Amino acid sequence: MIIVTGGAGFIGSAIVAALNKRGITDILIVDELGTDEKWKNLRKLSYTDYVEAEQFYEELSVGKIEDDVQAVFHMGACSDTTEKNCSFLVNNNFECTKLLANRTVENGSRFIYASSAATYGDGEKGFVDDEKNIGDLIPLNMYGYSKQMFDLWAKNLGLLDRIAGLKFFNVYGPNEYHKGKMKSFVVKAFEQINELGYVNLFKSYKTEYADGAQERDFLYIKDCVDMTLFFMDNPEVNGIYNLGTSTARNWNDLAKATFTAMGKETKIEYIPMPEELQGKYQYYTCADITKLRNAGYDKETTSLENAIKDYVQNYLQKDEYLGAD
């Protein structure tokens, strides 16, 4: 059996879909469906069982992982970078991860968990996935720090030579539709273009960046999942790794690619950045994936233009979800 926490969410459901394509269906999905529509991500997936997260962790606190568990993909977390309830983030993103990691390692099963590129903060310390320097990073929000807390805990306990932590950069693609304000800008641009005919981008407040020229490492979900499964296929590869394209592209590029995929003329309007974001905004992110390449992952990532074309034309315009087909 394979356990996927957050298995109804964006990356988690995409992992299940990829496992299904391999013919793997003995999967336990753990999540909290709540009141949003991420349940729709489950409809094209094949799995053995589903358990609500609260019940799963209650049982785990007094029991153990089943002996037949091959791997645990721990994608479950609150990923809202604006969440203000620090105690909630500590419990959800740190304490639950500690419990699950301990149980999985004790059982001898593979543990692969989601860290985050948010741990890098403003990027002043660089974007190199060097475990020795985890404590030097200064996250800009509590979400990022909750992820760093576990990275530090795992390092201090000497677990990083037995588990794999993945720092996802800006992942986008099918199955993120339920994420509200946290969904990628590709979806937001698609919606704005359909509704308004133009796209809004934030103005820049740094002279070295033009409006809309702030840069991100945008990673398509299909590449993200392929990289993630690499760690299941290669259980000897442990530690913390960046998952990205190693190429920074700007918001103008992303908007133009979306217009092109929709067959429309590019129209961009620049709007003020909310004051609460101005001191916490990352102007540049770019994954250094040298460590991943050295570990043996040699596949090329999909270009921004080709990925957005696939996303828009084969998923957004068709209201389609990922599945094994």
Question: Is 143 a known active-site residue?
Answer: yes
* Both tokens assigned to 227: 């990289």
Show Cβ contacts of residue 228 under 8 Å, excluding neighbours closer than 6 positions. Answer: 11, 15, 73, 112, 166, 243
The 3-state secondary structure of the chain, one letter per residue:
CEEEECCCCHHHHHHHHHHHHCCCCCEEEEECCCCCCHHHHHCCCCCCEEEEHHHHHHHHHHCCCCCCCCEEEECCCCCCCCCCCHHHHHHHHHHHHHHHHHHHHHHCCEEEEECCHHHHCCCCCCCCCCHHHHHHCCCCCHHHHHHHHHHHHHHHCCCCCCCEEEEECEEECCCCHHHHHHCCHHHHHHHHHHHHCCEEEECCCCCCCCCCCCEECEEEHHHHHHHHHHHHHCCCCCEEEEECCCCCEEHHHHHHHHHHHCCCCCCEEEECCCHHHHCCCCCECCCCCHHHHHCCCCCCCCCHHHHHHHHHHHHHCCCCCCCCC
Question: Is 179 a known active-site residue?
Answer: yes
Show Cβ contacts of residue 171 under 8 Å, excluding neighbours closer than 6 positions. Answer: 10, 11, 184, 219, 220, 221, 224, 243
Catalytic residue among 57, 143, 297, 311: 143
Catalytic residue among 179, 183, 188, 309: 179
Point out the residues that are catalytic: 143, 179
